[in-house]
């Protein structure tokens, strides 16, 4: 098998990063509703995170933010006039709709798409299915732009297949890679793809009582078919409804995986013991190396603390640098806010050989509902496939410096919900994105540039 790498495509945090509290079921999002955000700080934290992950030996790339406000949404909802008039009317008559149109939530690239590497697919190509994110208005508007940018970055049809979103109906709710895991002996080897869903069509299946289950089994089945996956190497598992009611809106809030390692909370899945048995059996068919699972007991860490700290929204990476070789966990700084979380963090040692740890501060993203793992879309690529990716988005120290300068030039220090009614914010955003497409060598990417 050709050697393959995990490439992290991180979402650049956009200039309209704000706390509108739009994501019901996401406790961090709703609890910070109406507070003042710091867009410049948020974007710089995202860039610092990319830099740090790259220094740990992980290949890194960037996904550009989407244009905001999404005036086409407001026009479809009946607002008319010039751009500034539309914003003025929406801010006066329907501020919640204006907030949705201004949402910078595409920064959480883990929800952009589900991805299957060429080692798993019958046609030997990398398959992407753009997530429809139909559970929330502010996220459902991302799909069209996400598909557009993925087609520009992964444009070679010999190596990449970009599938459009599934039908945006409740039956096919799709939240992307945040509900998808892949386990394998190595990135380039055939693996087991795990699709995690919150609900299915069966009246007998358990359902959450407080918060909605966003992702459906029907969507996961459709994606597996689209990606031409071997049914013997695909597993479907339901989220624990109690976990959803505790604020686990996506699987990556209670589980993190990397190659043959899985770390999760004891209450992650509806039938956790059964899932673990099925997963171990499946891994034996594809891997000469044993599956290593670390389960954090609820007696050591409650679901409430897991959600508050985002411990499991860490990134697992295999370092191969001059400073360290081996497994490293890149975890959010919020894990230091509680002694119990801190103790749980340092008790994790999947194979008993020691694990490195690196703290990462993405506080602005965390307060809006997304930790380190939310900010990146993992794409496993061979060296040849990497050579076919649009080079302008490949992270380098030089690109990082250019992006930091760009952020310093265009982003506001502070943004309150009332500031979304400022007509100057439209022009500021477009000026920033117009310059960004030059930096990333993606001309005419946005509708306003056509």
Give catalytic residues, as residue numbers: 175, 250, 374
In the sheet that holds 4-11, the strands lie side by side as: 59-63, 4-11, 376-382
Between the alpha carbon of residue 100 and those of residues 40, 97, 111, 321, the distances in Å are 20, 5, 17, 42
User: What is the distance between the terminal CA atoms of the chain, rounded to a whole angstrom?
Assistant: 43
Supply 340's token pair.
Answer: 């119990």
Q: d(Cα 227, Cα 413) in Å, to the nearest integer?
A: 42
Burial of 239 (0-12, 13-18, 19+ CB in 10 A): buried
Give 225's contacts (C-beta < 8 A, 6+ positions apart): none
**Residues facing residue 294 across a β-bridge:** 263
Residue 69 preceded by cis peptide, ω within 30? yes
**Taking a C-beta distance cutoff of 8 angstroms, is the pair 154, 128 a contact?**
yes
Q: Is 368 exposed, middle or buried (0-12, 13-18, 19+ CB in 10 A)?
A: buried
Going edge to edge, which strands form the sheet with 255-258? 255-258, 261-265, 292-296
| Helices 424-439/397-410 angle, 10° precision | 160
Q: Count the Cβ atoms, other than its own, within 10 Å of residue 148.
A: 17
- CA atoms of 54 and 60, how far apart (whole Å): 6
Closest of 160, 158, 138 to residue 149, by C-alpha: 160
| CB-CB contact of 181 with 255 (8 Å) | yes
């Amino acid at each position: 098998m050709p050697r393959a790498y995990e490439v992290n495509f991180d979402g650049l945090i956009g200039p309209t990063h704000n706390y509108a509290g739009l994501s019901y079921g996401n406790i961090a999002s709703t609890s910070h509703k109406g507070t003042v955000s710091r867009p410049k700080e948020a974007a710089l934290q995202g860039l610092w995170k990319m830099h740090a992950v790259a220094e740990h030996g992980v290949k890194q790339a960037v996904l550009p933010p989407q244009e905001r406000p999404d005036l086409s949404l407001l026009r479809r909802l009946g607002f008319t006039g010039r751009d500034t008039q539309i914003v003025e009317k929406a801010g006066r008559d329907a501020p919640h709709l204006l907030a949705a149109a201004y949402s910078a939530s595409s920064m959480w690239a883990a929800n952009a798409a589900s991805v299957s590497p060429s080692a798993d697919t019958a046609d030997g190509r990398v398959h992407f299915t753009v997530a429809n994110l139909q559970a929330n208005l502010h996220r459902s508007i991302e799909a069209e732009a996400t598909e557009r940018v993925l087609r520009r970055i992964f444009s070679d049809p010999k190596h990449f297949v970009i599938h459009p979103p599934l039908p945006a109906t409740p039956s096919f709710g799709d939240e992307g890679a945040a509900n998808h895991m892949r386990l394998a002996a190595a990135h380039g080897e055939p693996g087991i793809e795990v699709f995690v869903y919150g609900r299915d069509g069966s009246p007998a299946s358990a359902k959450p009582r407080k918060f909605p289950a966003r992702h459906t089994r029907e969507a996961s089945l459709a994606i597996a078919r689209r990606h031409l996956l071997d049914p013997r190497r695909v597993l479907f598992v339901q989220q624990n409804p109690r976990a959803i009611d505790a604020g686990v809106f996506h699987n990556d809030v209670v589980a993190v995986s990397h190659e043959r390692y899985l770390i999760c909370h004891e209450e992650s899945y509806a039938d956790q013991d059964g899932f673990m048995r099925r997963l171990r059996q499946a891994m034996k068919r594809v891997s000469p190396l044993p599956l290593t699972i670390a389960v954090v007991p609820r007696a050591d860490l409650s679901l409430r603390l897991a959600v508050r700290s985002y411990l499991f929204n860490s990134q697992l990476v295999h370092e191969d640098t001059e400073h360290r070789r081996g497994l490293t966990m890149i975890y959010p700084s919020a894990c230091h806010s509680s002694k119990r979380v801190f103790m749980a963090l340092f008790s994790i040692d999947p194979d008993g050989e020691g694990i490195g740890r690196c703290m990462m501060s993405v506080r602005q993203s965390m307060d809006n509902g997304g930790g380190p793992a939310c900010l990146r879309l993992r794409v496993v690529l061979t060296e040849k496939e990497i050579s076919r990716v649009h080079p302008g988005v490949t992270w380098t120290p030089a690109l990082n410096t250019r992006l930091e300068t760009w952020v310093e030039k265009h982003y506001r220090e502070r943004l309150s919900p009332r500031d979304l009614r400022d007509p100057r914010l439209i022009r500021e955003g477009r000026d920033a994105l117009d310059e960004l497409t030059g930096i990333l060598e993606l001309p005419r990417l946005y509708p306003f540039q056509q």
